[in-house]
Structure 1
Amino acid sequence: MTRGEAIAEEARRWIGTPYRHQAALRGAGADCLGLVRGVWRALYGGEPGAVPAYGADWRDPGIGDALEVGARRYLIAKEGSVEAGDVVLFRLMRHLPARHCGVMVGPERFVHAQEHLGVVEVAMGESWARRVAGVFRFP
């Protein structure tokens, strides 16, 4: 099994976890960042760093580009096609910084935490693909 496949497998273990803002506990609750943090913990055994409080409203201008800054600090930016195990950041509105993230589990599918649905696997359809703000890999 490749590293990317192992990361994808871990992300899939989170499917069915309920959505909980700022949570990161498989089976109990997670938001999109909590999912990525949980996968990180499975890989490395601990949190990469302290996570400051953040609002549930992705339109909150006070958040700034904190998600991308954190990704650049702890993950490795990559160019080109996405692969299983990659972390993808999304802009939910063109004029705003990235406010959402997920873990690729194949070339056209990813796992993410969505309010009201919890952690789910979905297709990287056109509506998601046009919102991609960055692609990163775990170190």
Structure 2
Amino acid sequence: MNDIQRRVLTEAKRWLDTPYQHQASECGAGCDCLGLIRGIYRRLYGGEPVAPPPYTPDWAEECGEETLQKAARDWLVEIPNAQARPGDALLFRMSPDAPCKHIAILSAPNIITHAYWGRAVVESFFVPYWQRRWVHSFRFPEKDVSL
């Protein structure tokens, strides 16, 4: 595990129990899955590369484009799934023919941290339900961090 991954895990723990709130990204106040990643990125690097445009809960189904996957490829470092380690971000496709729509932090080999719709930021077991939907892995880039 590298220093960035350790910092991601430290920051992800701070977000636990943050209520789920669509489009939000404030630790303790509210976030969705993208907001969790945005908040961690801000804490690590001092800001966000770009602010996402407004999006609806069914944005992926409506547009049919790989918006989340493209953003992850633009700002994180894609790695093979087999190389994913705690502190890396995992991207999920909720159905085989839909664009990627969920993102989480791998917290341990069998645990993910994510903003869970209708609940909060939680640690969940990385069970077959999630494993079947996992399609891409990303590492936060190695650069100066503000944490």
Do the structures match in fold with TM over 0.5? yes
- Computed over aligned residues only, the root mean square deviation of the Cα atoms, in angstroms, reads 1.4
Q: Supply the distance in 1 between the matched residues of 2:127 and 2:89 (Cα, whole angstroms).
A: 16
Counterpart position of 1:56? 57
Counterpart CA distance in 2 for 1:27 and 1:92 is 26
Bigger mean CA deviation after superposition, 121-130 or 56-65? 56-65
Q: Which residue of 2 aligns with 1:21?
A: 22
Q: TM-score normalized by structure 2?
A: 0.89
Match of 1:132 among 126, 134, 142: 134
Q: What letter corresponds to residue 137 of structure 1 in structure 2?
A: R
The equivalent residue for 2:116 is 114
Instruction: Report the more deviating stretch, 16-25 or 106-115.
Output: 106-115
Report the Cα distance in structure 2 between the residues aligned to 1:9 and 1:132, rounded to whole angstroms: 23
The 10-residue stretch of structure 1 (99-108 or 27-36) with the greater mean CA deviation from structure 2? 99-108
Ranges in structure 1 where 5+ consecutive residues have no aligned partner: none
Provide structure 2 residue ranges, at least 5 long, that are not aligned to the other structure: 142-147
**Match runs of 1:29-40 below 5 Å:** 29-40=30-41
Look up the equivalent residue of 1:47 and give its one-letter code: E
Give distance in 2, aligned partners of 1:119 and 1:6: 17
Q: 1:99 aligns with which of 94, 98, 101?
A: 101
Paired letter, 2:41: W
What's the TM-score once normalised by structure 1's chain length?
0.94
Contact 1:55 1:63 in 2 (8 A): no
Decide which structure has greater helix share: 2
Count how many residue pairs are aligned between Structure 1 and Structure 2: 139
Identity %: 40
CA offset digits 1:68-109 (Å, max 9, x no partner): 000000000001232111000001111111100011111121
Deviation of residue 48 (structure 1)? Answer: 1.6
- Runs of 4+ with deviation above 4 angstroms: none
32-41 or 1-10: which moved more? 1-10
